[in-house]
C-alpha cells in the first residue's frame, strides 16, 4: 500500500508529531517529513501575518516537493502568532494545508488571552517562546509544552493543541464533495 506523504514546513519535532497523529487518524500508512523553510513573516507574527506565515510555509515545501519530485500528497504550514480582538490579545496558531491538487484549507488552534505585560514584550519584538523559556527557566519550550502547556499547567500542551487544529484543517479533504465542488 502506497503511503500518504506529508511535508511540513518546519523541523520542529512537536509540529511533525502533531501532523503524524492527525493524518494517521485518516490515512494509513502515512509518511511525514519536516523541511526547514522560511515563513516570510517576523518570528513573532501578529494578526493576518500569522495566516500568511502558515501559507508561505506550506507553499515553500510544495515548491521543494515539485523541484525534487518528492511525490508528497499534502503540504502543511504551522505558524504561531498573536491576534488582537475586542482590545485584547490572544495567542493562537494557524494551520494551512495544501494538497497536490492545489486544494487548500485553514484552521486555527483555540485562542487564549495573554497577560498585558507579556503583550508589551511581544510588541517590543520579543518572541513568545523566549518569554515562556524565561518564565519556566527552561530552554526551547516550543519543542515541549510551549505557552499553552505553561498557562494550562500542562493540560493542553503544544502537541495536543496542534493535533486538534490539524485535524480540523483536514476536514475539507475528508469531506471533499462538500468543500471542493
- Distance, CA of 70 to CA of 74 (rounded, Å): 11
Q: Looking at the predicted structure, is the pLDDT value of residue 66 above 90? A: yes
pLDDT at 139: 82
Q: What is the CATH number of the domain that holds 150?
A: 3.90.950.10
107-116: b (≥16 Cβ within 10 Å) or e: bbbeeeebee
Residue bearing the bigger pLDDT, 144 or 46: 46
Q: How many domains does the chain have?
A: 1
Q: Looking at the predicted structure, is the pLDDT value of residue 14 above 90? A: yes
**What confidence tens digit (pLDDT) does each residue in 79-97 have?**
999 999 999 999 999 999 9
DSSP character at residue 26? T
Phi, psi of 175 (to 5 degrees): -120, 50
Q: Strands 104-108, 88-99: parallel, antiparallel or unpaired by DSSP?
A: antiparallel
**What confidence tens digit (pLDDT) does each residue in 35-49 have?**
999 999 999 999 999
Average pLDDT, the chain: 94
Read off the pLDDT band of 100 (50, 70, 90). very high
Q: Looking at the predicted structure, is the pLDDT value of residue 58 above 90? A: yes
pLDDT at 135: 87
Structural domain range at position 158: 4-179
Q: Looking at the predicted structure, is the pLDDT value of residue 30 above 90? A: yes
Give the residue-averaged pLDDT of 93-112: 97
Q: Looking at the predicted structure, is the pLDDT value of residue 143 above 90? A: no
Amino acid at each position: 500500500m502506497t503511503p500518504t506523504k506529508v511535508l511540513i514546513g518546519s523541523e520542529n519535532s512537536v509540529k511533525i508529531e502533531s501532523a503524524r497523529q492527525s493524518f494517521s487518524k485518516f490515512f494509513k500508512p502515512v509518511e511525514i517529513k519536516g523541511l526547514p523553510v522560511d515563513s516570510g513573516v517576523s518570528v513573532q507574527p501578529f494578526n493576518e501575518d500569522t495566516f500568511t506565515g502558515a501559507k508561505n510555509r506550506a507553499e515553500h515545501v510544495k515548491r521543494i516537493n515539485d523541484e525534487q519530485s518528492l511525490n508528497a500528497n499534502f503540504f502543511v504550514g504551522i505558524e504561531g502568532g498573536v491576534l488582537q480582538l475586542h482590545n485584547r490579545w490572544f495567542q493562537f496558531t494557524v494551520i494551512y494545508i495544501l494538497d497536490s491538487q492545489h486544494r487548500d484549507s485553514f484552521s486555527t488552534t483555540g485562542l487564549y488571552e495573554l497577560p498585558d505585560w507579556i503583550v508589551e514584550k511581544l510588541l517590543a519584538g520579543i518572541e513568545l517562546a523566549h518569554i515562556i523559556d524565561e518564565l519556566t527557566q527552561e530552554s526551547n519550550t516550543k519543542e515541549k509544552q510551549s505557552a499553552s502547556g505553561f498557562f494550562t499547567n500542562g493540560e493542553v500542551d503544544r502537541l495536543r493543541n496542534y493535533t486538534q487544529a490539524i485535524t480540523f484543517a483536514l476536514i475539507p479533504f475528508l469531506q471533499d464533495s462538500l468543500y471542493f465542488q
